[in-house]
Amino acid sequence: MSFLTDEDEDDAMQQLIDVKDAARSVWALGDYDAMLRTEGLYAVGEELVHRLDVTEGERVVDVACGTGNAAIPAAAVGARVTGVDLTPRMLEVARRRADDAGVTVDWIEGDAEELPLPDGHAEVVLSTFGCMFAPRHEVVADELARVLAAEGRLGLCAWTPEGVFGEFFRIVAGHLPEDPEFVDPPLAWGDEGRVREVFEGTGLDLAFERATFEIVHASVDAAVACYTDNLGPVTQAREFATADGRWPDLRAELTDLFARQQSSDGRVIIPAEYLLITGQRA
């Protein structure tokens, strides 16, 4: 049997802090809002709110809320919404979007692994392509379940490993520094078996459905530019690749991926497959 020394525990804690500090910086790169508007992905948040039948007066938490993908449509139906995200810049944009939409959301800078909310706070907990990027999935699952009230409802969206965006994120990861061993791969949230494992013992009854959202870009070049200019991890991968002379390789891999989604009129039509995870606390 082996035991961690105090020094080992301190090192592990510092690594975790470093990973989260890096995440704040990475997700502040580019223009996430512009990417979601270009892709039409805000519609996924609207659909999730509709699917969970969010109603006026319900307490809703959007975890790793980004620029308010699910939080703003939930507030639009009259729910009392809290949006939590690790990255201050995301929350700045979310506030502007909420103001433009004429809705009220309580925006909180916070960690999906340590939500700044009491037990049983919300009737509905949501996350669209957000909490999947937190480093420790079991910790996140426990937190999502903790803040969910009795008979509360859970709704999550995560990219599937088998879909186009699964391949996309594997390409990007190949041009980024390796994560520490304790960091779980984001695409694991798109695997039904793994999701069941991380929620084991939380008391949530889960259901799964694969859904596809069509994303259209005017051309292959437009698709490559959309992600390398606007999506933080890809912008970072481009910076690393440029520094070590591998940008042509990364660009070629992304070009090939999007060229395989190209239609006869030159547009790139991506069948963006994701796993819809719903659950309810007993």
Domain count, the chain: 1
Euclidean distance between CA atoms 158 and 127, whole angstroms: 9
Confidence at residue 5, expressed as pLDDT on a 0 to 100 scale: 64
From the centroid of its chain, how far is CA 203?
23
CA angle 155, 270, 230 (to 5 degrees): 75
* Distant-in-sequence, close-in-space partners of 243: CB < 8 Å, separation ≥ 6: none
Euclidean distance between CA atoms 106 and 281, whole angstroms: 24
Residue 266 lies in a domain: no
pTM for the full model?
A: 0.94
- Reported as a single tens digit per residue, the pLDDT across 22-51 is 999 999 999 999 999 999 999 999 999 999
What residues form DSSP beta bridges with 124?
A: 60, 153
Residue 256 lies in a domain: no
Domain CATH for 180: 3.40.50.150
Residue 48 lies in a domain: yes
* Distant-in-sequence, close-in-space partners of 115: CB < 8 Å, separation ≥ 6: 61, 63, 84, 143, 146, 147
Residue 232 lies in a domain: no
Euclidean distance between CA atoms 154 and 145, whole angstroms: 8
Residue 246 lies in a domain: no
Backbone angles phi, psi at 214, to 5 degrees: -85, 120
Q: Are strands 148-159 and 268-281 parallel, antiparallel or unpaired?
A: antiparallel
- Reported as a single tens digit per residue, the pLDDT across 190-201 is 999 999 999 999
Three-state secondary structure along 153-181? EEEEEEECCCCHHHHHHHHHHCCCCCCCC
Question: Are 40 and 102 spatial neighbours (Cβ–Cβ below 8 Å)?
Answer: no
Residue 29 lies in a domain: yes
Question: Are 146 and 119 spatial neighbours (Cβ–Cβ below 8 Å)?
Answer: yes
CB atoms within 10 A of CB 158: 24
Residue 268 lies in a domain: no
Instruction: Tell me the C-alpha to C-alpha distance, in Å, between residue 1 and each of 5, 10, 135.
Output: 13, 20, 26
CB atoms within 10 A of CB 108: 15
Residue 96 lies in a domain: yes
Range of the domain at 148: 11-215+273-281
* Distant-in-sequence, close-in-space partners of 102: CB < 8 Å, separation ≥ 6: none
Average pLDDT over all residues of the chain: 95
Amino acid at 272: A
Confidence at residue 1, expressed as pLDDT on a 0 to 100 scale: 43
Question: Are 84 and 65 spatial neighbours (Cβ–Cβ below 8 Å)?
Answer: yes
| Confidence check: pLDDT of 2 > 70 | no
- Reported as a single tens digit per residue, the pLDDT across 222-276 is 999 999 999 999 999 999 999 999 999 999 999 999 999 999 999 999 999 999 9
| pLDDT band with cut points at 50, 70 and 90 for residue 12 | confident
Count how many Cα atoms sit within 13 Å of the Cα of residue 206 in the half-sphere of its side chain: 22
Euclidean distance between CA atoms 12 and 6, whole angstroms: 10
